[in-house]
Structure formats: C-alpha cells, structure tokens
C-alpha cells in the first residue's frame, strides 16, 4: 500500500486531499497513468505540468514505487 497526497489546485479539482492505493504500480509514471484513466477531472488534473515527490524527494515518471511509499502531487509554484 502507498499513500498518495494531492496539494493545492489538485486537491480542489479532485475533491480529495489524498488516498491509499493498495496495489501500487511499479513506477510513478504508471501511477499517473492509472489515476488519469479515472475520467475527466482526473485526466485533466494530470495532463498539465504536475510536480511529483516520493518520500519527500522530487521524482519523475521513471521513479520506482515500493510498498509503504508516500507520493505527493502538486502544481508548480511560481513567485515574483
């Protein structure tokens, strides 16, 4: 099982701060594809630029997932 958390606009768009996924896929990219396949809001949420972290370290689609991992998705932050 892994813990998945959604932050900022993703949390609002998906209507959830996070969830537990019992049978996580092998990679972060496969998880993104699995979540996007849930339908319209999900596909839209993951179609743009989304930053990802695994166990509080920035990650990319090739990052492997393991039992007990914590995954976070959040939009890019800009400042000025």
Stronger pLDDT, 33 or 48, i.e. the higher one: 33
Domain assignments of the chain as residue spans, ordered by start: 2-74
∠ CA 55-58-60, rounded to 5°: 105
∠ CA 57-5-60, rounded to 5°: 40
Mapped onto helix, strand or coil, the DSSP state of residue 51 is strand
Q: What is the pTM of this model?
A: 0.91
- At residue 78, the pLDDT reads 61
Rounded Cα gap, residues 43 and 50, in angstroms: 12
Determine which helix (DSSP H) or strand (DSSP E) holds 34, and give its type and residue range: helix 28-36
pLDDT tens digit string along 36-61? 999 999 999 998 889 999 999 999 99
Q: Which two tokens stand for residue 66?
A: 């393991």
> Mean pLDDT in the chain?
93
The percentage of residues in the chain with a pLDDT greater than 70, rounded to a whole number, is 96
Q: For the domain 2-74, what is the CATH superfamily, name and number? A: Beta-grasp domain (3.10.20.30)
């Amino acid at each position: 099982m892994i813990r998945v958390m959604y932050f900022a606009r993703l949390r609002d768009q998906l209507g959830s701060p996070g969830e537990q996924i019992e049978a996580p896929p092998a990679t972060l990219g496969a998880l993104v594809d699995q979540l996007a396949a849930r339908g319209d809001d999900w596909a839209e949420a993951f179609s743009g630029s989304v930053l990802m972290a695994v166990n509080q370290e920035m990650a990319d689609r090739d990052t492997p997932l393991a039992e007990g991992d914590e995954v976070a998705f959040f939009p890019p932050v800009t400042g000025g």
